[in-house]
Structure 1
C-alpha cells in the first residue's frame, strides 16, 4: 500500500472520529405515554354522569347513541395490545373521530386533548370514518320498490303540497385546501377550492343518495350526470312508479325529482321555469317547487352547523375529504333517526308561517358560516348572496378607514399626497357602494 492510500485512509478515519454522534430521537414523548391520565376520556366519563348536555355537545350525540355506534364499529377498528405498549381503545378512537368531525380542529390541536400523536390521529380518523360508512350503509339507501317511492312522495305532498315528488336534489361545495400540483382543477365558480357533495333528500331531512369527490370546477348538472344514480334514472332502473292521476284532479302526472336550473329537464326531473315572462300559474309553480326544494338546502345547512369539519378548509387530500364527507352524511341520517327529538328541533330549519305565507329562516342560517353554504333559491328566504355582499361591504369599509388613517399618518408631511390618496379611496368606496346597491 503506497503512502497516498495510507494518507487517504488516515484522513477518512480522522474525519469519522471527529463527527459527533447524533442523539437518537425519542420513540415517544413522555407525556403521551400517560394517555390514561391526560386523555379526554376522563372528561367524557365525568360529563356522562354530571352534564349529559355537554357530553352531547362534545360528540354531537348522547351517551346511549354513542354506545350503540361504538358497539357497531368496534370489530372494524379494535387493535390488539402488544408487549411494547397498549393499543388505543376503540372507545377513544371513536370519540376522537367524532370530536374531529364536530370541530374540524387540526390533528395537532387534537393531540393536546387526546394525548395521541397527530400521526396516529390521522390514521385513526380515516379508519373510523371508513368503518362508520360501512356499518351505517343501510341508513342511506335509495328506495327499491314502488311502494317505498310512493311513501317518499306522500311525505312531500303532506308537508310541502307538492305531489308525486321523489326527492329534492342539489349540490354543495365542500371547502378544501388546494391539493399540491392541482392548478385550478378543484377551483369553483365561488372562488375557492372544493369537492362537490351531491345529494337526494326526502321530506324528513334525510339523505336518500349521496355522492362526493368530484372536483369543484364541475357544475351540479355535470356532477349528477357522472353518478350511478343518474345512469340508473336514465335507464329506468330505479323502479319509479308509473304516472298517476292527481287527487281531486283529472290530470295524470309522472313522479319526479326536483332541482334548480343547474340540472337538465327530463321526464322524471323537474326544475323551475326561467324567471323571464312568467305567467301567474308559472310563478305559483316556481314558488311551490322552490319551496319544496329548499329542504335539501336545509339539510346541507344542518349538516354544516352540526359538523364543524365543514366550517373550515379541509387540509387533507381530496380522497380523504370525500371519505370524511360521506361519514358525516351517514352520521346525519343515523342521528336523525336515533335522536329525532333532540338532534334538531323546529327552529333549526326553515318553516312557513301559515298565516302570512312567509318563510321563517332556520337557525342553521345564522350559526353556519355563509361562505361555505350554497346560495339560497328559496321563495321569501333571505338570500345568502346578500349576506355575503353585506359582510364583504363591511370588510371594505374597515379597510377604507384603516387605509385612510394609515395614509394620513404616513403622508402627514405632504398634504398633496395625503389628499390624493384620500380622494382615490373615496372614489373606490363610492364604486363599491354602487355595486353593492345593485346586488341588494
Structure 2
C-alpha cells in the first residue's frame, strides 16, 4: 500500500468514527478529495496530506481514551466499587505506587499514552469480570495485543508485592495474636491457620486429562492458608485439577519447610487445621475419623473443626466474589499467566483487607 492509498484508507477509517470535530473533519474530507482527484502528487505533496491526517486520527483516538477515563471519574464511589471491585481510595493508592514502580514506561507507544492510571483501569476491568479482552480493548480504544501486554505488565508489578502482602507470622507476638484470634472465634487453641484448596476453572488445555478434576471440568488448584481475619498467609498455585489436596500439599514449599524445620513455621506446638482429605501431621490437624469409639472431647473438636473451616470457604468466596476472573478463565490457555493472575488476585485480596476495603455480603 503506497502513501496515497494509506491516506485514503485512513480517511475511510475516520469516516466510520462516531466522534469527530466538524472543522477538522471538513479538512480531512478536503484532503481525501484532493488525493482522489490527483494521484500524481509528488512525495512532498503526499507528506502534506499524510501527516495532518495522521495527527487528526491521533487526536481523535486520544479523545476517545480521555472520554472513557472521564466516564470512570464521573462514577460515584459506589458505582466505581461495583464495577472495579476496589474502592476509589484503594485504586488511587495503587495507581500512585504503580507510577513510581517504573513498570509502566513514561513514553508513548503507538497512538496512545500508556499512563499508569489507564493501565491499572484496564487491569481492573479484566480481573473484575469474566468478559473476553475484545470489549475491554474496545472501551479503552486499544488493540487486543496491547491490552494483554498491559495486563501482564500490571500483574508482574503486583507480584513484586507478594512477600509484603502474603506473609507468614514471624515473631512470637504475631503468632500469639493469631492464636488468640482463632481461639476467640473458633474455640481451638494453638491454631495459626486453616489450609484449604479451591479449583479455578479454565478452558480445555492441551494436556486435558491431567487438568480434568473429579467434578468433570478443567481446573488448576489454588492452595492457601488463611488466618482468622480471612487474609492469606501462604499461597501455592498451579497444580493440575486432577491432583488431590495431599499431593498438592506435598509439592508445596510450605510442606518442605515444615518437614525440615517445624519450628520455623510452627513454634510452641502450633498447627494448621485442614479437612479430612489432608494427612495427620505434627503441624496439621484434620478432624478425627468418625467412628463409635470417639471420645466426647474428640467429637467436640470435630464440631469446632467443622465451623472453623467455614472461614476458608468465606475467604475463597470473597476472593472470587471480588475478582470474578478467578471464577473462570475463558480463552486463556497459558497456565503460567493464569497462575500469576490468581496469585496477583490473592495479593490484592490481602491489600484490600489491610486497607479496610471490604465488600458487602450482597456484592
Checking the alignment, whether the CA contact within 8 Å between 1:73 and 1:135 is kept in structure 2 is: no
2:337 corresponds, among 311, 320, 336, to: 320
Residue 187 of structure 1 is matched in structure 2 by: 212
Contact 1:107 1:118 in 2 (8 A): yes
Note the residue ranges of structure 1 that are not aligned, 5 or more in a row: 1-22, 244-253, 349-362, 368-440
Report matched runs for 1:163-202 at 5 Å: 163-179=189-205, 181-202=206-227
1:408 maps to which residue? none
Residue in structure 2 matching 1:59, options 84, 90, 104: 84
Contact 2:137 2:143 in 1 (8 A): yes
Against the structure 1 CA distance between its residues 203 and 190, is the aligned structure 2 distance closer, same or farther, given a 3 Å change threshold? same
| 1:189-234 deviation line (CA, Å, top 9, x unaligned) | 1111111100000000000001111111111111111111111111
Question: Residue 136 of structure 1: CA displacement?
Answer: 5.2
Of Structure 1 and Structure 2, the greater helix share is in: 2
Q: Are 2:322 and 2:359, in contact at CA under 8 Å, matched by a contact in 1? A: no
Contact 1:177 1:315 in 2 (8 A): yes
Q: 1:335 aligns with which of 352, 355, 358?
A: 352
CA 1:229–1:45 in structure 2 vs 1: closer, same or farther (change >3 Å)? same
* Match of residue 269 from structure 1: 284
Other-structure match for 1:236 = 261
1:16-415 maps to which residues of 2 (within 5 A)?
33=58, 34-39=60-65, 40-47=68-75, 51-74=76-99, 75-82=101-108, 85-135=111-161, 137-179=163-205, 181-236=206-261, 239-240=264-265, 242-243=267-268, 254-277=269-292, 278-316=294-332, 317-338=334-355, 340=356, 342-345=357-360, 348=361
Kindly indicate whether the alpha-carbon contact (under 8 Å) linking 1:188 and 1:216 is maintained by their aligned counterparts in 2: yes
SS of the equivalent of 1:210 reads strand
Output one character per residue of 1:386-437: Cα deviation in whole Å (capped at 9) or x when no partner: xxxxxxxxxxxxxxxxxxxxxxxxxxxxxxxxxxxxxxxxxxxxxxxxxxxx
What CA distance in whole angstroms lies between the structure 1 residues aligned with 2:282 and 2:300? Answer: 20
Q: Which moved more, 1:81-90 or 1:129-138?
A: 81-90
| Structure-2 separation of matches of 1:262 and 1:58 | 37
1:308 Cα offset (Å): 1.1
Give TM-score, length-normalised by structure 1: 0.66
C-alpha distance in structure 2 between counterparts of 1:172 and 1:319, whole Å: 17
Mean alpha-carbon deviation: is it higher for 201-210 or for 53-62?
A: 53-62
- State the alpha-carbon separation in 1 of the partners of residues 305 and 207 from structure 2: 38
Counterpart in the other structure of 2:50: none
Single out whichever of 196-205 and 270-279 deviates more from structure 2: 270-279
Tell me the secondary structure at the aligned position of residue 184 of structure 1.
helix
- The structure with the larger Rg is 1
- CA drift of 1:89 comes to 1.2
Task: Provide the rounded CA distance (Å) in 2 between the counterparts of 1:213 and 1:305.
Answer: 20
Does structure 2 retain, via aligned residues, the 8 Å contact 1:175–1:195? yes
Deviations 1:129-187 (A, max 9, x none): 110121353011112233322221111011211110010000010111012x3130111
Cα shift at 1:242: 4.6
Partner of 2:54: none
In 1: Cα distance, 2:109 partner to 2:77 partner: 37
Higher relative contact order, chain-length normalized (CA < 8 Å, sep 6+)? 2
Q: Which runs of 5+ in 2 are unaligned?
A: 18-56
Give the alignment's TM-score, normalised by structure 2. 0.79
